[in-house]
Structure 1
Amino acid sequence: MSDAYPHVLDPVAARYASWLSLPGAATADVSDEDPADVLLMPMVLRLERGEPPRRSAMLAAAAASAVAVCLDERSAPGGEWHADVGGWTAGRIRKVARRARGSHWAAAQQLPGRTVEIGGAQVRSFVPLRVSETPKELSRLQISGSEVEPDEPGPVPTGVPRLWLNPHVPMSAGKTAAQVGHATMIAAALLHAEGRTDELTAWTERGYPCAVRIPEPDAWRELLPGADPGRSWQERGIAAVRDAGFTEVDPGTVTVLAEWALG
Structure 2
Amino acid sequence: MSAQPEQPEEPVAADEPLAADEPRAPVLAPLGARYSGAPAVIPPEADGVVRAMPVILRIERELPARTALLEAAAQAALAVCVDARAQGEWHEPLRAWVDGRIRKIARRARGAHWAAAQELPGVTVEVDGAEARALLPGPVDDVPKAVSRLQIGGTDLPSDDPGQVPEGVPLIVVNPAVDMTVGKAAAQVGHASMILAAVRGWTGAPRFAVRRDPALWEALLARDDVVCVRDAGFTEVDPGTITCAAAD
TM-score band, normalised by shorter chain: 0.7 to 0.9
Q: State TM-score, norm by structure 1.
A: 0.80
User: What is the SS of the residue equivalent to 2:194?
Assistant: helix
1:151-187: CA deviation from partner (whole Å, max 9, x where unpaired)? 1101111111111110111111000000000011001
Task: Name the CA shift for 1:6/1:110 in 2 (closer, same or farther; >3 Å).
Answer: farther
Identity score, percent: 51
Task: Name the CA shift for 1:219/1:100 in 2 (closer, same or farther; >3 Å).
Answer: closer
Amino acid at match of 1:120: G
Match of 1:195 in 2: none
Amino acid at match of 2:242: V
Match of 1:75 in 2: 86
Match of 1:197 in 2: none
Match of 2:207 in 1: 209
User: What is the SS of the residue equivalent to 1:169?
Assistant: coil
Match of 2:119 in 1: 110
Match of 2:13 in 1: none
Match of 2:69 in 1: 58
C-alpha displacement of 1:29 = 5.7
User: What is the SS of the residue equivalent to 1:99?
Assistant: strand
C-alpha displacement of 1:132 = 2.2
Amino acid at match of 1:214: R
Q: Any gaps of 5 or more consecutive residues in structure 1?
A: 193-199, 226-230
Structure 2 residue 200 is matched with structure 1 residue 220:
no
User: What is the SS of the residue equivalent to 2:28?
Assistant: helix
1:85-125: CA deviation from partner (whole Å, max 9, x where unpaired)? 11100111100000000000000100000000001000000
Match of 2:20 in 1: none
Match of 1:155 in 2: 164
User: What is the SS of the residue equivalent to 1:97?
Assistant: strand
Match of 1:9 in 2: 28
Match of 1:85 in 2: 94
Q: Any gaps of 5 or more consecutive residues in structure 2?
A: 1-22
Task: Name the CA shift for 1:213/1:219 in 2 (closer, same or farther; >3 Å).
Answer: closer
Q: CA RMSD in A?
A: 2.2
Larger helix fraction of residues: 1
Task: Name the CA shift for 1:169/1:246 in 2 (closer, same or farther; >3 Å).
Answer: same
Structure 2 residue 143 is matched with structure 1 residue 134:
yes
Amino acid at match of 1:45: L
Larger mean CA deviation between 134-143 and 242-251 belongs to 242-251
